[in-house]
């Protein structure tokens, strides 16, 4: 018995179990788990005393190097994957966008090139569809076979990303036949646009009007409509970046009826609120993303939703734009502020801190939300998302008691502000391994750009 690496004396935490064991790694995979594995058989020994050994985080919603609103998101696949790894995330699923007139294959090829030679951790893609004719419907099936089995559709952003109900229903019908999984941006874009135009006509141009023109009813209506369309098509559906109690209620009702309906929320909706717009001048632009921040009372419903499996995943919707020069594009008009916020680095710390130390759920549920459920829903399990013999050795050695104060001064995202500036978290990634390579160790980042591999995914497995 010989190992490349032995992790000793840690506490293994999976979505179901917590136990003391050593873990051995050979050829990038977990090769043994057991008590008192022999250290002399390992080339490298890591002492995990006092630490949790968890599967690496999987963030299924990021936008790296993404053109939007006349600019491009500030993290590319090098800086974005590096920041993710600093926080204990070892796999990302980003979005390849099919722009009007393009094929789905062009979208995929463009994003493959963006990641190539840059990614420091493993990555995969969903494809955003902005037009759906017969040819693109065929291309959906081809992408499924190429390892891209999930597609994001928009019910918002008319004229840019939004699909009409007929196209959404067709895409869902293809999904029902092919095993593809539809991820839905659920906001009623048509109604929102009317409210936005009214606000502009009344001279309401400050950042907070981005939030005030996107009511919770617009999200709840679209969530209910997406669920109804999916039910008619006989397809599962995954609601992305769910932000409010009203939309959650639609998901809860559907799940109670036994429908394959899933949803994610993001740390910004759990930790921030509409009150974040009470800042001087244009500062509120730091919080302009869609869906917008809501009143504080929604947070508690979202935490409960995570605990009670009404929500299955926490992703980040990492879509960073610098305050200077990028957010400032909307200085005189909130509709010109690029939508999105930075968050890929701090998901694990924030969710552990608020969720486990905040007494909402157990460390096992935490692992389920940030790693195992994402892996199962998006066709990466059991290669990723668990600790088992034969799984990739994507691991995070996590100190559940260590504290950190989040700040742009210390973060690794390539953006000049933090949405979570000054928030104290308890629970910090100390050492991170990706396919057996130590890529982060006690404050040293060790991964070479380009070592991250593209992951062909299987079709969706229900959870």
**Which residues make beta-bridge pairs with 238?**
183, 262
User: In the stretch 166-205, what mask flags binding to ligand URP with x, by CB under 6 A?
Assistant: -------------------x--------------------
Whose Cβ is closer to ligand URP: residue 8's or residue 185's? 185
- Residue environment code for 279-304, b if the CB has 16+ CB neighbours within 10 A, otherwise e: eeebebbbbbbbbbbbeeebbebbbe
Task: Report the residue number, 82 or 214, with the smaller CB distance to Zn ion.
Answer: 214
> Which of Zn ion, ligand URP, none sits in contact with 224, Cβ below 5 to 8 A by type?
none
Q: Which is nearer to ligand URP, 170 or 185 (CB)?
A: 185
**Shortest spacing between CB 268 and Zn ion, in angstroms:** 11
CB 156 within 8 A of CB 222: yes
Which CB atom, from 28 or from 190, has the smaller least distance to ligand URP? Answer: 190
In this chain, which of 86, 151, 289, 321 binds ligand URP, going by CB under 6 A?
289
Whole-angstrom distance, CA of residue 153 vs CA of residue 354: 30
Site string for ligand URP, 84-103 (x = CB under 6 A): --------------------
Q: How far apart are CA 361 and CA 294, in angstroms?
A: 23
Phi, psi torsion values for 33, nearest 5 degrees: -135, 125
For CA atoms 332, 337, 341, 342, give the dihedral sign.
Answer: negative
CB of 320 to Zn ion, least distance (A): 12
What whole-number distance in Å separates Cα of residue 395 and Cα of residue 408? Answer: 26
Question: Which position among 63, 126, 298, 327 is part of the footprint of ligand URP (CB under 6 A)?
Answer: 63
Q: Is 339 in the site for ligand URP (CB under 6 A)?
A: yes
Name which position in 80, 88, 340, 427 contacts ligand URP (CB under 6 A): 340
Q: Residue 89 binds which entry of ligand URP, Zn ion, none, with Cβ cut-offs from 5 to 8 Å by kind?
A: none
Query: Toward Zn ion, which CB reaches closer, 12 or 313?
Result: 313
Between 96 and 319, whose beta carbon lies closer to ligand URP? Answer: 319
Give the relative orientation of helices 216-233 and 165-178 as an angle to the nearest 10 degrees. Answer: 50
Closest CA relative to residue 252, chosen from 286, 219, 227, 289: 227
Q: Dihedral through CA 112, CA 117, CA 120, CA 122, nearest 10?
A: 30
* CB-closest chain residue to Zn ion: 185
Q: Which does 384 bind (CB under 5 to 8 A by kind): Zn ion, ligand URP, none?
A: none
Q: What is the DSSP string of 372-415?
A: IHHHHHTT-TTTSSS--TTSB--EEEEEEEEEEE--TTT--SSS
Using rule CB under 6 A, residue 213 touches ligand URP: no
Near ligand URP by CB under 6 A: residue from 5, 223, 243, 290: 290
Choice between 276 and 362, CB closer to ligand URP: 276
Q: Would you state the structure tokens that stand for residue 279, as one six-digit string?
A: 């800042």
The partner in contact with residue 355, picked from Zn ion, ligand URP, none with C-beta cut-offs of 5 to 8 angstroms by kind, is: none
Q: Alpha-carbon torsion 97, 103, 104, 110, what sign?
A: negative
Residues of the shown chain interacting with ligand URP in the complex, contacts defined by CB under 6 A? 63, 185, 241, 289-290, 317, 319, 339-340
């Amino acid at each position: 018995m010989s190992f490349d690496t032995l992790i000793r004396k840690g506490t293994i935490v999976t979505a179901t179990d917590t136990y003391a064991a050593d873990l051995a790694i050979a050829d990038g995979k977990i090769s043994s788990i057991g008590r008192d594995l022999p250290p002399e058989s390992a080339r490298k020994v890591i002492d995990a005393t006092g630490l949790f050994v968890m599967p690496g985080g999987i963030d299924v919603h990021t936008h790296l190097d993404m053109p939007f609103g006349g600019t491009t998101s500030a993290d590319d696949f090098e800086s974005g994957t590096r920041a993710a790894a600093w926080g204990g995330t070892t796999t990302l699923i980003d979005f390849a966008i099919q722009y009007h007139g393009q094929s789905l294959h062009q979208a995929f090829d463009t994003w493959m090139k963006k990641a190539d030679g840059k990614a420091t951790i493993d990555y995969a893609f969903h494809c955003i569809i902005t037009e759906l004719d017969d040819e693109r419907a065929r291309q959906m099936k081809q992408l499924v076979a190429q390892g891209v089995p999930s597609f994001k559709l928009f019910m918002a952003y008319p004229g840019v990303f939004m699909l009409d109900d007929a196209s959404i229903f067709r895409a869902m019908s293809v999904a029902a036949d092919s095993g593809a999984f539809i991820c839905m941006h659920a906001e009623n874009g048509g109604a929102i646009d009317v409210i936005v135009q009214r606000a502009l006509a009344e001279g309401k141009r400050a950042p907070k009007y981005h939030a005030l023109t996107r009511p919770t009813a617009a999200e709840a209506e679209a969530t209910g409509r997406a669920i109804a369309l999916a039910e008619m098509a006989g397809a599962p559906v995954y609601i992305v970046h769910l932000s409010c109690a009203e939309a959650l209620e639609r998901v809860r009702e559907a799940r109670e009826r036994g429908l394959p309906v899933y949803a994610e929320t993001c740390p910004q909706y759990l930790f921030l609120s509409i009150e974040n717009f009470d800042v001087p001048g244009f500062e509120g632009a730091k919080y302009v993303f869609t869906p917008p921040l809501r009143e504080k009372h929604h947070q508690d419903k979202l935490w409960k939703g995570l605990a009670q499996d009404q929500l299955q995943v926490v992703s980040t919707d990492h879509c960073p734009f610098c305050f200077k020069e990028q957010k400032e594009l909307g200085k005189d008009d909130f509709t010109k502020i690029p939508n999105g916020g930075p968050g890929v680095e701090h998901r694990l710390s924030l969710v552990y801190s608020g969720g486990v130390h905040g007494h909402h759920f157990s460390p096992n549920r935490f692992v389920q939300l940030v790693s195992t459920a994402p892996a199962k829903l998006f066709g990466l399990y059991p290669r990723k998302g668990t600790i088992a013999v034969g799984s990739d050795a994507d691991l995070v050695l996590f100190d559940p008691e260590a504290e950190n104060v989040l700040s742009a001064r210390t973060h690794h995202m390539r953006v000049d502000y933090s949405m979570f500036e000054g928030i104290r978290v308890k629970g910090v990634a100390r050492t991170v391994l990706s396919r057996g390579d130590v890529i982060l160790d006690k404050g040293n980042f060790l991964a070479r750009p380009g070592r991250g591999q593209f992951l062909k995914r299987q079709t969706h497995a229900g959870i």
